[in-house]
Amino acid sequence: MNINNPVYLFLLIMVSLLPFQGCSQDKKNTLMNSQDSLRNHDMNEWNKSIPGSFSTQSKSKFDSLEIGVFLSQYPKLKKYERNISTFYSRRNMAFAWFDKKGLIEHAANLTDRVRNLQYDGVNKELPYLQSLDSLIFENSLEKLPDSSMLKLELMLTAQYFAFADVVWEGMDASISRKVDWNLPRKRVSYEVFLDSILKTAPEQIKDLKRPVNRQYGLLRKFLQNYSELEQKGKWFEIKASVKSLRPGDSSDVIVYIKQRLNELGDLKIDDGLPLYDEYLKTAVSSFQLRHGLKDDGIIGKTTLAEMNVPFKQRIKQLIVNMERSRWVPASLSSEYLVVNIPEFKLHVNSGDKLLWSCNIVVGKPIHKTAVFSGELKYVVFSPYWNIPKSIVINEVLKDMRRDRNYLNKNNMEITGYRDGIPEIRQRPGPTNSLGLVKFLFPNNYNMYLHDTPAKSLFNEPSRAFSHGCMRVQEPFKLAQFLLKNDPFWDDEKINAAMNAGTERTVTLKEGVPVFIVYFTAFVDRDGKINFRKDIYERDERMAEMMLIN
């Protein structure tokens, strides 16, 4: 069953989904105190909550009018009235959280989850938790009267939808727009999802896919790890007395570096010795790759600065990016492109499979690349560059005043005038600023992917150099991918068109979705947490909106 029914499709760089885990076979007649339950189970067991949490019984039912009565007593849950009513109407008003033995076991798991939203990166509390606690306690003492049993039933269901709202859905769409997130938000029918759980055999529950992007669950795991590091209170600033440290060096500061890398998981064994050996070099290179740095194994100023980012700051970064991951639909089956701006990477995907990735150059902070989506429809070989008016005014006219031959030297020409400003374009050729090919997906931001003659910039670790468009390191390979289903366009013809010197536009038979995203924390395909610089300073603004200190 497709539970998402998205109007718009999107997926992040990491494309495969985490399946829901199956339910335990051990049944409980009554609900134990959820805090004790949390202490007595590891997080993996605790995370088995929610799926399979509903009774399959269908004989015990209640009148639909009782939902309105319940919500009049608990008005802060009224926003979930439609979800609750739809959910129970699908099961003919049968109880979901009780069977003939009493409360089913996973009611405890749900209670744990709603009580401990900090593990989901949520800095708020769901309404009426004290009422839930009282009903749970009353149930643990003796058989509930029918009125209290129904109240607990509806309270658990309402809490489920409240949990889905804040943990899986995230902040209101108006918030994402305020932080320049111009991608369409995901749409999920959570009551249909719950209904699908009820109709799934227990042994197949593990194959269900949760209604949140895979990255959310992965980031959640690292939020727990960094929270534990923060709680230990062992963070300290590492200070080096030399400019850099290399393999073979010996220094007391190496002891502290080894300790830090061991805590972060890059160094498996900390021998406590002050020697920079090959094991440490491997660990440093791993750390550098995870932080988007040149993986040369040399501990210089930049690498040490990343090692000195406090755990508390990383926790904030994880929470902010967990929120972003809530905004995107969980799956996509077609071929598509993803650009992650802070990562400076283009990822080419087909369904759950990452086909290949390459470096890109994105906009400078003063010329930010927008976060949005589109459909790639056109490949333009040997393109003209129609220079934007802003660049003409702010840059080209100044250069023309300094050098009367500037246009000829740069293979440019004036094609007309508008409001007294010349309209200038650069002719096709190897020196064209768009390179030999560009890839168009019509949008309101006038942004696209393109080749570039400035190849050396792709070797820089930080690649925010453009006016907003995205320069692609492997344009020929991207053209191959986009035209692979057209028998006319073999490698020879693609190469010839790129070097023809005459502009030629090819319309794709099928458009390819393109998603431009902004994630400063993500988990890669090797399961390693990655952090990137917040080049457009968007994380702090989001943290303020989420009330994260």
- Token pair recorded at residue 428: 């096709």
d(Cα 201, Cα 192) in Å, to the nearest integer?
Answer: 16
pLDDT at 91: 85
pLDDT at 143: 72
pLDDT at 8: 34
| 342 DSSP assignment | G
| 34 DSSP assignment | H
Q: Whole-structure pTM over 0.85, yes or no?
A: no
Enzyme catalytic residues:
450, 469
pLDDT at 260: 97
- Token pair recorded at residue 180: 């320049």
State the CATH architecture for 332-539: Beta Barrel (2.40)
- Token pair recorded at residue 106: 């996973």
Q: Are 425 and 412 in contact (CB under 8 A)?
A: yes
Closest CA to 513 of 325, 332, 331, 326: 332
State the CATH architecture for 236-309: Orthogonal Bundle (1.10)
List the chain domain ranges: 34-208, 236-309, 332-539
The residues near 138 (Cβ < 8 Å, ≥ 6 apart) are 144, 148, 152
> φ, ψ for residue 190 (rounded to 5)?
-70, -30
Specify which residues 471 forms β-bridges with.
361, 450
pLDDT at 38: 36
234-256: b (≥16 Cβ within 10 Å) or e: eeeebebeeeebeeebebebbeb
> φ, ψ for residue 307 (rounded to 5)?
-65, -25
d(Cα 388, Cα 406) in Å, to the nearest integer?
Answer: 17
Strands 102-103 and 437-440, by their bridges, are unpaired
pLDDT at 236: 92
> How far out from the chain centre does Cα 2 lie?
21
The residues near 131 (Cβ < 8 Å, ≥ 6 apart) are 74, 155
d(Cα 352, Cα 333) in Å, to the nearest integer?
Answer: 7
Q: List strand residue ranges (DSSP E) for 27-169, in order.
A: 98-99, 102-103
Closest CA to 62 of 159, 137, 148, 164: 148
Which stretches in the chain have pLDDT values below 70? 1-59, 105-106, 142, 185-212, 329-331, 549
d(Cα 420, Cα 308) in Å, to the nearest integer?
Answer: 53
d(Cα 417, Cα 395) in Å, to the nearest integer?
Answer: 17
Q: List strand residue ranges (DSSP E) for 351-497, in order.
A: 353-363, 372-381, 385-386, 412-418, 421-426, 437-440, 449-450, 464-466, 470-472
pLDDT at 190: 67
